[in-house]
Structure 1
Amino acid sequence: MSEKTTYLIVGAGLAGARAAEALRERDTSGRIVLVGDEPYLPYHRPHLSKKYLMGKRPLERVFFKPPEFYAERHIETLTGRTAIGLNPQAHEVTLNDGSVWRYDRLLLATGAEPRRLNIPGNDLAGIYYLRTIPDSDELRAAMAQSQQAAVIGGGFIGAEVASAFAQSGVHTTLLFREDLLLSYHVGPIVGRFLTDYFTQKGVTIRPGVNVDAFIGDDRLRGVRLASGEIIPADTAVVGAGVIPRIALAHQAGLAIEHNGVAVDEYLQSSDADIFAAGDMAAAWSPLYHRRMRIEHWDVARQQGRIAGLNMAGDRVPWSELPYFYSDLFDLDIQAYGDLFQWDDVIQRGPADPSARPALTVFYLYQNQLRGALVINPAEGQLEAIQALLKTVPTLSAADRARLADPTMPLR
């Protein structure tokens, strides 16, 4: 690209930051402008429901890079600004301050926002959602004062927040629609393991329920289930999933698929000068031969960098293994590959939530090995699993038996 090239990045999360970093590596003279709607430079959101929430990680270690990183690389940062208009024909983006920015290459990395419960009482004090640094700060303060907490949602955010509250000594009830904790995401084997483990840790598990109202006067005092039962709570945290922020792309007429901006393996949209990455991108995976929209930190990290390289003229495909992690009490959970489309599982060894519980589950689709989830991995196990998953093997009966037997090597 020429020195007049302007790269505009809308969305100052991890994907946007990684794109800016890659762009400057590839193009030393182009103009790079990073626009974010929060008053912060890019930061790592996973910490907000884990160590930062529990006061075990200082704020400065939440940020992707220090301020001088951007200044030294001549990356312009526009914080507290929201893109409200996109004109692909004119190559222009309008911000909420009235300014209009022209681009040669544009990255949309606007992420997602929490799905809010539109039920009676949703404006009461004591109800929290978690997405931003101030959200986590407010929740930490509430956790220090709370006696009874209701966490709504059986996904990773709900599980992580419930873990944090329980470890802080708060009586915690975890409510969700599914039969088992996290089973919507990782299936019944892991779901049963985690449900039993959380119960052992003192969390009250209420599966198969729907919340239809928050109860209280000015402040929350409970949540009401569809059955009419009221769960006492002075704090409620909602982790009911997220909604991708694709309004800008939709307005501009970009192709949409899986409720995200449809992009190819190079993260390029239906408009050749517009790329997308992260939670709001439905990207083609050459590894799995389908388009995937994945709401995980590491995928945003991967895709942001690849989008940046390709905006600068490279042709690098997004062919990496999807990855995510979670910390629940003393459980180290690591997952690789495609856990979003599977029709069979193989459990490696017994699932025993003992003093040092461990579990490995492999996920298959049409007898191809697609993904794996490991709880408290053994030394060297993750490297072997990643190497195996990258080949997307079709399994023989002997292969299946080997994967199920913890005394046998994985390869």
Structure 2
Amino acid sequence: MKNYNFLIIGGGVAGTTAAEDIRKNNTDASIAIVSDEPYPFYSRIMLSKPQVFLEQVPLESIFKKKNEWYTDNTVDLIAGQSATNLNAEKKEITLSDKTVLKYDKLLLAIGTDARTLGLENEDLDGINCVRTLDDAKKIIAGRKKAKKAVVVGGGFIGFEMCDILRQADIDVTLIIREKTFWGHLLGKKAGNILEKTLTDHNVTIIKEDEIIKINGTERVSEIITKQGKALPCDMLIVGIGVQCPIKTLDPNKTLECGHGIIVNEYLESPQKDIWAAGDCAEYKDVILGEQVLMGNWANSQLQGKVAAQNMLGNKTPFKAVTSYMCHAFSVPIAFIGDVRAGDGKEIIERELEDENGYAQLTVFDNRVIGAALINQTQSLKPISMLIQNRVDISDKQKILLNGDLKTLV
């Protein structure tokens, strides 16, 4: 049974960054990365970008590490194996091939799994999520013969995939549950801007509906909605959110979990010598003062660095203004900090001259804690600074509405 000083479960950006930083600071420690994918580290954010799907760049260009990197840095990459059981008391991890690994310190950087529709026939060809390189390969192959696609889900992935499929000259229908696009988060104006963007590019939008049946033999041929619509399609993209796969790894519920693995501001779990980082980590946000689950590349990369420092014994809190960003149909969109409505929170929609621009601020306790921006990249930096510096805006309402945000920071 092999013992590692540092065992990392997950070969994505958080896990690989942590391994890299540990090795930079400790040349002697034994390090292993367990990845359930049979590949070295690659850029997952490129999986929803047109350069990849439209084959404008070689698929190999998304790889951030080659196999030689692991050898040169004496990092054992155990690829194509998933962790199936955690024994925190014995400090052991069991893999899918029944191999048992011991650890001194453990980092869980297991990412998330895509939610599925949970319907019969969901395993037909032409039905895909967008989470892994193998998913992307299937979509690229299917794109070349697809004529009609249905995209289900109104998140970033759905928006970006509509753009990619239209660029490929495929008919696209988008199905969302809400009354307006992102209606659970943003105001009506924002929804109208995004819906107009979609319809201007000939995307058909079906609102307040969902898929209840999938038809087809070997390949998907039709979907049926709750409202009774029958839509022919030879490609179905499912983008209805993600979930933490901790149940597979921790069936005995050793770890405390909410929407993700509960950790403190040092990314440390209550279980001794176990940390979590990246999309799976529900961490204590020292800026917002609450537990937060935030899945994006930059956040995961920084958490990998912070986790590495804490595993090395250098007490380092994770402190960052988190953000989601996407760019589709030439429209940049950004969510910064906490954009959720709730008790005690005030939502301010800025008055902008640009009818295609939108900026929504979330204010709590006289400070900005979040923002949603459409076509407003110039506001990204000042708003991030407002959140980071916890600026008191109690007498700055006019500036928040229509003034220059730079004057507040």
Q: Do the structures match in fold with TM over 0.5? A: yes
Supply the AA of the counterpart residue of 1:350.
L
Match of 1:13 in 2: 12
Match of 2:402 in 1: 405
Contact 1:351 1:359 survives alignment (8 Å)? no
Percent identity, please: 31
* Residues 271-350 of structure 1 mapped to structure 2, 5 A cutoff: 271-340=271-340, 343-350=345-352
1:56–1:258 Cα change, 3 Å: farther
Q: Secondary structure at the match of 1:104?
A: strand
1:179–1:346 Cα change, 3 Å: same
Match of 2:133 in 1: 133
* Residues 51-70 of structure 1 mapped to structure 2, 5 A cutoff: 51-70=51-70
The Cα offsets for residues 219-277 of structure 1, whole Å up to 9 and x where unpaired, read as 32221111211122121111111121112554354342422111000011011200011
How many Å apart are 1:295 and its aligned residue? 2.3
The Cα offsets for residues 196-233 of structure 1, whole Å up to 9 and x where unpaired, read as 21111211111111210112344322211112111221
The Cα offsets for residues 140-187 of structure 1, whole Å up to 9 and x where unpaired, read as 222222211110111111111111111221110000101122333545
Match of 1:163 in 2: 163
Q: Secondary structure at the match of 1:227?
A: coil
Match of 2:229 in 1: 229
CA distance in 2, matches of 1:27, 1:300: 22
Q: Secondary structure at the match of 2:266?
A: coil
CA distance in 1, matches of 2:211, 2:55: 30
Contact 1:212 1:225 survives alignment (8 Å)? yes
Name which of structure 1's ranges 364-373 and 100-109 shifts more when overlaid on structure 2: 364-373
How many Å apart are 1:359 and its aligned residue? 3.0
1:66–1:339 Cα change, 3 Å: farther
1:169–1:237 Cα change, 3 Å: same
Q: Secondary structure at the match of 1:161?
A: helix
CA distance in 2, matches of 1:279, 1:100: 25
Name which of structure 1's ranges 45-54 and 182-191 shifts more when overlaid on structure 2: 182-191
Q: CA RMSD in A?
A: 2.2
Match of 1:384 in 2: 382
1:207–1:14 Cα change, 3 Å: same
Supply the AA of the counterpart residue of 1:361.
Q
The Cα offsets for residues 41-78 of structure 1, whole Å up to 9 and x where unpaired, read as 12221110113223234323322333333322221111
Runs (5+) with no aligned partner, structure 1: none
- Paired residue total: 403
How many Å apart are 1:108 and its aligned residue? 0.8
The Cα offsets for residues 128-148 of structure 1, whole Å up to 9 and x where unpaired, read as 222111211211222222211
Contact 2:153 2:175 survives alignment (8 Å)? yes
CA distance in 2, matches of 1:216, 1:5: 48
1:184–1:56 Cα change, 3 Å: farther
CA distance in 2, matches of 1:35, 1:378: 37
1:213–1:253 Cα change, 3 Å: closer
1:410–1:182 Cα change, 3 Å: farther
Match of 2:115 in 1: 115
Supply the AA of the counterpart residue of 2:346.
D
Match of 2:42 in 1: 43
1:269–1:386 Cα change, 3 Å: same
How many Å apart are 1:30 and its aligned residue? 0.8
Contact 2:4 2:32 survives alignment (8 Å)? no
Supply the AA of the counterpart residue of 1:34.
I
1:384–1:117 Cα change, 3 Å: same
How many Å apart are 1:81 and its aligned residue? 1.1
Q: Secondary structure at the match of 1:145?
A: coil
1:334–1:223 Cα change, 3 Å: same
Name which of structure 1's ranges 62-71 and 323-332 shifts more when overlaid on structure 2: 62-71
TM-score normalised by structure 2 residue count: 0.92
Match of 2:150 in 1: 150
CA distance in 2, matches of 1:20, 1:340: 34
Q: Secondary structure at the match of 1:270?
A: coil
Supply the AA of the counterpart residue of 1:115.
R
Q: Secondary structure at the match of 2:53?
A: coil
Supply the AA of the counterpart residue of 2:388.
K
1:187–1:59 Cα change, 3 Å: farther
